[in-house]
Structure 1
Amino acid sequence: MRKFGLIGYPLSHSFSKKYFANKFEKEGIADAQYELFPIAAISELPKLLSDNSDLVGLNVTIPYKEQVIAYLDVMDPKAEAIGAVNTIKIEGGKLTGYNTDYFGFKDSLLKFIGANGLPEKALILGTGGASKAVKAVLEDLGIEYKFVSREPAEGQLSYESIVSSPNHILSSLLIVNTTPLGMSPNEASLADLPYEQLTHDHLLYDLVYNPMKTAFMQKGIEAKCWVKNGLEMLHGQAEKSWEIWNG
């Protein structure tokens, strides 16, 4: 039996186990199982690996997509360029890190807006590991972007600056939420933005997929924007992970 799983904290929101259980049943894969491993600190990873010697693949979610890099033996060039890892292949005692969020987000974004309708500018809410994959996709698609953070670094925007200057929202027709705001069970939480400035030309993409309609998306719906959650991205990155683990 080959074991796969997900590390992160917390994991009560995750659909990954259900997704892979359905996949294994549907495709008649009898030699694999997928488990959730909520670890309170990334330093618990070595013990997790020693206690589960049959692990051959892991997915990585909030908040460890950057922290896990220190525990890897090898980095796929794309993941190294992005600076975040959400998939680990375990083979011969070696841990190799990949980023399948990139592929999941890119495919889903292009289905959402189409290659011919790409906006010129975007705002990326959050600066964690998931935001780095979004950044890489936008760069490859030629979309200008700005990060928005509660504690902005140089070249980034604060939420306060977005509120005080309408131009940021008006000129950035794609807004991508990469934060856990709105994720179950804290479904009412959302980024502090001037949502009244949204127009029907705006596209709101929320990487959160539980609940299916987040508070962020609801603000977009009320403004007659196009909205999308992260479920399709989850499926896309999961399939890419499976391809890597079995490649």
Structure 2
Amino acid sequence: MHYGLIGYPLSHSFSPAYFRKKFAEMQIACLYEAYPIADIAELPGLLAAHPHISGLNVTIPYKESVLPHLHEIDEMVAVTGACNCISIKDGYRKGYNTDVTGFEQSLIPLLRPQHNMALILGNGGASKAVRYVLTQLGIPYSVVSRDGSRQTIGYTTLTPAIIDAHKLIINTTPLGMYPDVAAAPPIPYDSIGDQHLLYDLIYNPEETQFLANGRERGAVTKNGFEMLVLQAEASWDIWTRPERGE
């Protein structure tokens, strides 16, 4: 069987190495390749050139723009508006969001009573999965974006009081991702303390500047590696189901 990852760029992506190691340990003859495409419009041509692809993972920046290329979406994609996993059977493409599963399962063990309000840094496809999970868990949240809007808070308007009131802060932006490891979301870090939980969806580097800033002030920190493993395993479960859409 043949699987892959689409996104751009993909030079430091997690999935190819993870699945190749998984296939070697399982001793199964499967392929997993990275397909960096500069535009989502290239997807039909990619699939035509590789008709044996049975499943794809989707990463930045195509989790939302891939939707018109799908024949069907599951409930979580419908709610979040973002897809990171595609099952392909006989040319029929169904989209799923396994980011939801990965984030939820990795976050729940860390939650404490004070984590009853959240700040979500970023407003893209990954942010939508986080919002879905927080809604399911009954945790109210505010979204922080570069410019701010009626629905979001701008970084320039974040105050120490806002940081203090939101003990759960989740970075869904690429700020701090390798190779730009010195970058970090511009929030008032001096207002973070030992009651905070900082979660970064980035896994490379292992500790982003965002997480380091939190750790230095006593916060509990978590990177995105476990989430990636859990979402990858959820993708594998979807791809190996015996029937389409079941």
Q: Would the aligned equivalents of 1:13 and 1:183 in 2 still touch at CA under 8 Å?
A: no
Q: Would the aligned equivalents of 1:5 and 1:37 in 2 still touch at CA under 8 Å?
A: yes
Q: Would the aligned equivalents of 2:185 and 2:210 in 1 still touch at CA under 8 Å?
A: yes
| Sequence identity percentage | 50
Alignment match, 1:187: 181
Separation in 2 of the partners of 1:178 and 1:87? 18
Q: Would the aligned equivalents of 1:79 and 1:97 in 2 still touch at CA under 8 Å?
A: yes
Does residue 131 of structure 1 match 2:130? no
CA deviation map 1:102-146 (0-9, x unaligned): 000000001233xx5461100000000000000000000000100
Amino acid at match of 2:109: K
Partner of 1:62, secondary structure, is: coil
Q: Would the aligned equivalents of 1:13 and 1:185 in 2 still touch at CA under 8 Å?
A: no
Deviation at 1:99, TM superposition (A): 0.2
2:203 to 175, 200, 209: 209
Q: Would the aligned equivalents of 2:143 and 2:153 in 1 still touch at CA under 8 Å?
A: yes
Change (3 A) 1:51 1:152: same
Q: Would the aligned equivalents of 1:206 and 1:216 in 2 still touch at CA under 8 Å?
A: yes
Partner of 2:4, secondary structure, is: strand
Partner of 2:66, secondary structure, is: helix
Amino acid at match of 1:18: A
Partner of 1:182, secondary structure, is: coil
Alignment match, 1:91: 89
Q: Would the aligned equivalents of 2:115 and 2:196 in 1 still touch at CA under 8 Å?
A: no
Aligned counterparts, 1:151-190, within 5 A = 151-162=147-158, 165-190=159-184
CA deviation map 1:6-51 (0-9, x unaligned): 1011112211111101111112222x11110111111111111111
Q: Would the aligned equivalents of 1:187 and 1:214 in 2 still touch at CA under 8 Å?
A: yes
Alignment match, 2:23: 24
Alignment match, 2:59: 61
2:44 to 30, 43, 46: 46
Amino acid at match of 1:67: S
Structure 1: tracts of 5 or more residues without a match = none
Alignment match, 1:75: 73
Deviation at 1:82, TM superposition (A): 1.3
Amino acid at match of 1:4: Y
Amino acid at match of 1:65: K
CA RMSD of superposed structures (Å): 1.0
Partner of 1:67, secondary structure, is: coil
TM-score in terms of structure 1 length: 0.95
Alignment match, 1:224: 218
Alignment match, 1:145: 141
Q: Would the aligned equivalents of 2:114 and 2:167 in 1 still touch at CA under 8 Å?
A: no
Partner of 1:224, secondary structure, is: coil
Amino acid at match of 1:156: T
Separation in 1 of the partners of 2:161 and 2:114? 19
Separation in 2 of the partners of 1:53 and 1:100? 24
Deviation at 1:60, TM superposition (A): 0.3
Amino acid at match of 1:236: L
Separation in 2 of the partners of 1:52 and 1:66? 22
Partner of 1:160, secondary structure, is: helix
Alignment match, 1:102: 100
Partner of 1:208, secondary structure, is: coil
